[in-house]
Amino acid sequence: MTFSSLKPVAPNEPDLSRRLFLKLGAAAGGGLMLEATLTPIARAAHAESAPAAINAFIRIAEDGAVTIMSKNPEIGQGIKTMLPMLIADELDVEWTAVRIEQAPLDEAKFGRQHAGGSTATPENYFPLRKVGATARHMMIEAAAREWVAPAGECSTKAGVVHHAKSGRSLTYGALAAKAAALPLPDPATVRLKDPKDFTIIGTSIHGVENPKIVTGQPLFGIDVTMPGMVYAVFEKCPVFGGKLKSANIDAIKALPGVIDAFIVRASEANPKGEPDGLVDGVAIVGKSWWMTNKARKSLAIEWDEGPFAQNSSAGFATQAEKLAAGAPATVLRKDGDPDAALKDAAHVVEAAYSYPFLSHIGLEPQNCTAHYENGKIALWAPTQNPGPGQKLVATTLGITEKNVAVHMTRGGGGFGRRLQSDFMAEAAWIARQVGKPVKLLWTREDDMRHDFYRPAGFHFLKGGVDAKGALLALKDHFVTFSKGGKIANSANMEPVEFPAGLAPHLEFGQSMIEFGVPTGPMRAPRSNALGFVFQSFTDELAHAAGKDPIEFRLAVLGEPRILVNATGKPDPLRDFNTARMRNVLLKVAEVSNWKDRTSLPARTGKGVAMYYSHLGYFAEVVQATVKPSGEIKLDHVWVVGDIGSQIINPTGAINQAQGAALDGLGAALGQAITLEKGRVQQASFDSVKPLRMDQAPPVEVFFLTPDYPPTGLGEPALPPVIPALCNAIFAATGQRVRSLPINQNTLKA
């Protein structure tokens, strides 16, 4: 098969009927959100100059200025710009008239408020457009009543209602108070725009907070200050699950600048043992953070290190090899007869792959400012998950959730770490003890040694191709981790992992190692590791078959078809569509000039990978040069994605795809968390290395826009880039990378 014969195919057309729209909206919580947010909140009399609240999201002033609430936390993903764009376009106002505010935590009013899983677009695309469209409908109705004219004769443009027959017009500012007093329209009468009529959606708009960021204005959680505020640090056991036996509290209290120091017992603060709740430790509170952290260095603590003090990365690897020598403890999926098929295969490939624990390494360490007073507490936190954070603080302090106010600050990177709320619980407990506003700030070492890590994992694979080079069979014995006998957070693998459903004979087996390391989601959870394994091994099978790596993948995908998701229940958003993956793969071959890869200089290679993650289809090519010293130079990256019919903010979308690719490359080249005697060995950016500016290659991003509902972008561009790099290294050197991070010493000429 040659590339001239490979053409994009039309994906199976989705059912975009009203029934599907309602189904998708309900699945995303959209129905409840609309019921709450469309209820006008401005029924009380307003002062003449006060902006009129049309609904929970929209306020319009007499001068036409429109304030739109942004419901979800902003952690650098551009959501504070993107979500208001949906409302503003359907409201039919000019973007220059829009002012954006961060909404407070109020899920009864705004619907689910969180940042994670690339869910903001699929959860909010239709509901927030409906919010804007409903407000526009009310503006028209208010004008029609003013003019005693049929609403159907009125139209809007740029914040003005027009009546063409009479030539009259009224601005939204003039109509807002009257519109706010109107009853809600029948939802069936509110029409969304045809996408061809969008004026804001689909245009490139820079982040609304960019001016504050580049001028250094206070914006992040770490910037919060308030009168009378004091500063806190919190020392925890270096071994996960350890308990405090004693500490020199009196000596610490006597140090300069220290206001208080006290022991925190998890048994008092976290009686239910919440996974991200408070743990044993020592809190120190002082007049300045510098003096407080200096006092911390004088702590003398005796710890009971507990049952996990002997956990080590080397020990985990040894256990994995022993487990792999036997049968898997459980079988996740079995199709056909893999063992018999492998005996008949023309070529068999066997390989062991592994990847390490990873820390999230957001540039802003965990922090939270809290003020406890009269049985109530207010928190200012860069959280991705304010709702569960509120619940955790309420449980920690033994108060009701209504007495916990959470103010969302911008987060300096999250990547899944701020889905956990331990830092909020710590700040709350300390604030109640002190009785003053307290800012708790972690050090970089705290952040790296007390993370909820991306789980490590081990895969022992065997695959075979037939005499024609077609994929025949694949087996994977996956060794992962458990806590209390249950699979650890984000350490699982679904039975639909590629190439499940596409290989005639396949077995996914699983065994587990019990451990004490806290784990959790990290950008593209599970996929960020599984993509490396399966797309690298797919490349090995392609070469064993004597096939071009892209042609081999296209052959595995086969004819257009739908593979049902892991739940077994068909879902138009979550099912895997092979046609959509074929098309991004063909496009990346085109834009990367894949057919000419054999003409590259010596020790320069191109590698390809594809992956379906978080509802997004991505294929990527990396070109890399491996110097004789083993040093890897990243030459270029091509990213092609399919996240549905509409790119809401092209600038933001490109930034997200580029950032995900660079994030993945940095992890592959220089990041790992290792344990020895239950302790994390790394502490800062000297040993866990983000990608440096001088390492970053050009990243070109392209989007296909088939007629499918739009989906998110925070995660799905990351998984393919790591195997694409590893496959490029093989193309350049003939050496396979089967363990991360990449050991450049093994690549020397």
Confidence of residue 542 (pLDDT cuts 50, 70, 90): very high
Q: What is the mean pLDDT of residues 88-111?
A: 97
Asked if residue 714 has pLDDT above 60, the reply is yes
pLDDT at 47: 41
* Strand (E) or helix (H) holding 556: helix 549-557
Looking at the chain, the whole-number percentage of residues with pLDDT higher than 70 is 93
DSSP 197: G
Cβ count near 73 (within 10 Å): 29
> Please, are residues 188 and 177 in contact by the beta-carbon 8 Å criterion?
no
> Please, are residues 678 and 309 in contact by the beta-carbon 8 Å criterion?
yes
> Please, are residues 95 and 158 in contact by the beta-carbon 8 Å criterion?
no
pLDDT at 49: 57
Q: By C-alpha distance, which of 85, 39, 68, 69 is closest to 172?
A: 68
pLDDT at 566: 94
The strand order across the sheet containing 404-408 reads 258-264, 281-286, 230-236, 438-441, 367-373, 376-381, 404-408
Read off the tokens for 346.
Answer: 């023309």
pLDDT at 44: 30
Asked if residue 278 has pLDDT above 90, the reply is yes
Q: What's the pLDDT tens digit per position in 329-340?
A: 999 999 999 999
Asked if residue 21 has pLDDT above 90, the reply is no
Triad 338, 339, 344: Cα angle to 5°: 90
Asked if residue 673 has pLDDT above 80, the reply is yes
Which one is predicted more confidently, 513 or 17? Answer: 513
Asked if residue 120 has pLDDT above 50, the reply is yes
**Biggest CA pair distance of the chain:** 84
Interatomic CA distance for residues 106 and 399, integer angstroms: 18
Q: How far is CA 141 from CA 138, 153, 168, 291, 683, in A?
A: 5, 11, 14, 62, 61
pLDDT at 454: 98
The residue written with tokens 């499918």 in the block is 708
Q: Per-residue DSSP letters for 589-633?
A: HHHTTGGGGGGSPTTEEEEEEEEEETTEEEEEEEEEEE-TTS-EE
Chain mean pLDDT for the chain? 93
Q: What is the mean pLDDT of residues 89-117?
A: 97
Q: What is the mean pLDDT of residues 353-358?
A: 98
DSSP 519: B
Confidence of residue 269 (pLDDT cuts 50, 70, 90): confident
What is this structure's pTM?
Answer: 0.94
pLDDT at 14: 41
Confidence of residue 275 (pLDDT cuts 50, 70, 90): confident
Q: By C-alpha distance, which of 448, 444, 406 is closest to 428?
A: 406
pLDDT at 38: 56
Q: What's the pLDDT tens digit per position in 281-330?
A: 999 999 999 999 999 999 999 999 999 999 999 999 999 999 999 999 99
Q: What is the mean pLDDT of residues 6-12?
A: 43
The residue written with tokens 């093994």 in the block is 746
Which one is predicted more confidently, 43 or 448? Answer: 448
Q: Which of 23-32, 71-80, 436-445 has the lowest mean pLDDT?
A: 23-32
Interatomic CA distance for residues 741 and 356, integer angstroms: 8
pLDDT at 274: 78
Interatomic CA distance for residues 411 and 392, integer angstroms: 19
pLDDT at 51: 87
Q: Per-residue DSSP letters for 250-303?
A: HHHHTSTTEEEEEEE-HHHH-TT--TTS--SEEEEEESSHHHHHHHHTT--EEE
Interatomic CA distance for residues 707 and 548, integer angstroms: 30
pLDDT at 586: 98
Q: What is the mean pLDDT of residues 54-74?
A: 96
* 3-class secondary-structure state, position 320: helix
Residue 477, C-beta contacts closer than 8 angstroms, at least 6 positions apart: 323, 324, 328, 459, 460, 461, 509, 510, 511
Q: Per-residue DSSP letters for 359-426?
A: ----SSPPEEEEEEETTEEEEEE--S-HHHHHHHHHHHHT--GGGEEEEEPBPS--TTGGGS-HHHHH
Asked if residue 18 has pLDDT above 80, the reply is no
